């Protein structure tokens, strides 16, 4: 029988396994709406071309400059946000906000955005956008930025999930952490039945959020703006495995 996690802990600034899962559920909406928006445009390949090996692509420049602007106003002060280009961020121009320190400092700076970037452009995008070029490069890049930020936030939220799981069962996790045993950590933090529910729910949301809405009930429903099975597959193949990767990485240094 599958293990049942203790969700009663409320020591961690009120964070519980239930509350972090509620946040993951809400983030599904953001991810699915951002995919729907990106699917309005064709692939638009000139955005991703490099003129040379050294010069950045258009999308890279747009994401980098957007992050720099958002950094000045505090986006990356939040422990839930992780930049794609952490090396070129300007200083804050506003007073810092005092976010509660929930995460263990050693794991707080884990950043797997390079992997998320590569997967998004090479594997994911071709699955849900039509081929073609309509010249709308900047609006398309703005949609890519939305998708990347939503996916990155969700995947790195694994740090909070891992923290809550550790606080709930310090003995079990502590043993595996001291042994630096990644496989045992992966087994401890995996809930197959939860993953099954997530896959079904995101497919259902994609169907509901992406349907044509007509005032006339007799109108035939058009096809969904993003294919629900693609969204479910995206969660199965990338979103959940990468969240678990972040959880394991975080736990490995939880006792440092
Ligand atoms: O809900 C959890 O316990 C999580 O760790 C999150 C998550 C997910 O990515 O959705 C990841 C691993 C679990 O197997 C189930 C779900």
Cα 13 to Cα 146: distance, rounded to the nearest angstrom: 28
Span of 25-34, 213-222, 225-234 with lowest mean pLDDT: 213-222
Is the CB of 195 within 6 Å of ligand 1? yes
Atom of ligand 1 nearest to the CA of 192: 14
- Quote the ligand 1 centre to 153 CA distance (angstroms): 14
191 lines ligand 1 (CB under 6 A): yes
What pLDDT, in 10s, does the model give residues 176-193?
A: 999 999 999 999 999 999
Please, how many CA atoms are within 13 Å of residue 4, restricted to the half-sphere of its CB?
A: 3
Residue 234 pLDDT greater than 60, yes or no: yes
Q: Is the distance from the beta carbon of residue 7 to the nearest atom of ligand 1 less than 6 Å?
A: no
For 59-78, what is each residue's pLDDT tens digit?
999 999 999 999 999 999 99
**Predicted interface score ipTM higher than 0.85:** yes
pLDDT of residue 68: 98
40 CA distance to ligand 1 middle (Å): 30
Helix axes 182-189, 158-168, angle to 10 degrees: 90
The stretch 199-209 carries a mean pLDDT of 98
Are 58 and 47 in contact by the 8 Å Cβ rule? The answer is: yes
Q: How far is CA 37 from CA 32, 34, 42, 130, 144, in A?
A: 9, 5, 11, 13, 9
User: Which residues are 15's β-sheet partners?
Assistant: 12
Q: How far is 125 from 122, CA to CA, in rounded Å? A: 7
Tokens of 140: 């398309």
How long, in residues, is the chain?
A: 256
Whether ligand 1 lies within 6 angstroms of the CB of 194 is answered as: yes
Atom of ligand 1 nearest to the CA of 20: 1
Q: What is the pLDDT of residue 62?
A: 97
pLDDT at 88 over 90: no
């Amino acid at each position: 029988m599958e293990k049942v996690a203790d969700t009663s802990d409320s020591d961690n600034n009120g964070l519980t396994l239930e509350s972090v899962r509620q946040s993951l559920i809400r983030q599904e909406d953001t991810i699915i709406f951002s995919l729907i928006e990106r699917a309005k445009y064709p692939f638009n390949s000139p955005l991703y071309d490099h003129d040379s090996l050294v010069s950045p692509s258009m999308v890279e420049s747009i994401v980098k400059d957007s992050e720099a602007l958002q950094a000045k106003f505090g986006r990356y002060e939040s422990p839930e946000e992780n930049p794609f280009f952490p090396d070129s961020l300007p200083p804050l121009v506003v007073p810092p906000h005092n976010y509660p320190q929930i995460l263990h400092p050693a794991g707080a700076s884990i950043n797997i955005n390079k992997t998320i970037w590569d997967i998004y452009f090479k594997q994911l995008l071709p699955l849900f956008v039509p081929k073609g070029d309509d010249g709308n490069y900047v609006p398309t890049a703005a949609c890519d930025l939305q998708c990347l930020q939503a996916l990155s936030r969700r995947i790195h939220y694994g740090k909070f999930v891992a923290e809550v799981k550790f606080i709930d069962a310090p003995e079990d996790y502590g043993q595996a952490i001291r042994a630096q045993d990644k496989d045992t950590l992966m087994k401890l933090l995996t809930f197959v039945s939860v993953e099954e529910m997530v896959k079904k729910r995101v497919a259902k949301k994609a169907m509901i959020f992406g349907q044509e809405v007509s005032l006339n009930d007799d109108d035939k429903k058009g096809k969904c703006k993003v294919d629900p099975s693609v969204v479910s597959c995206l969660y199965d193949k990338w979103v959940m495995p990468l969240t678990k990767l972040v959880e394991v990485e975080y736990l490995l240094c939880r006792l440092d």
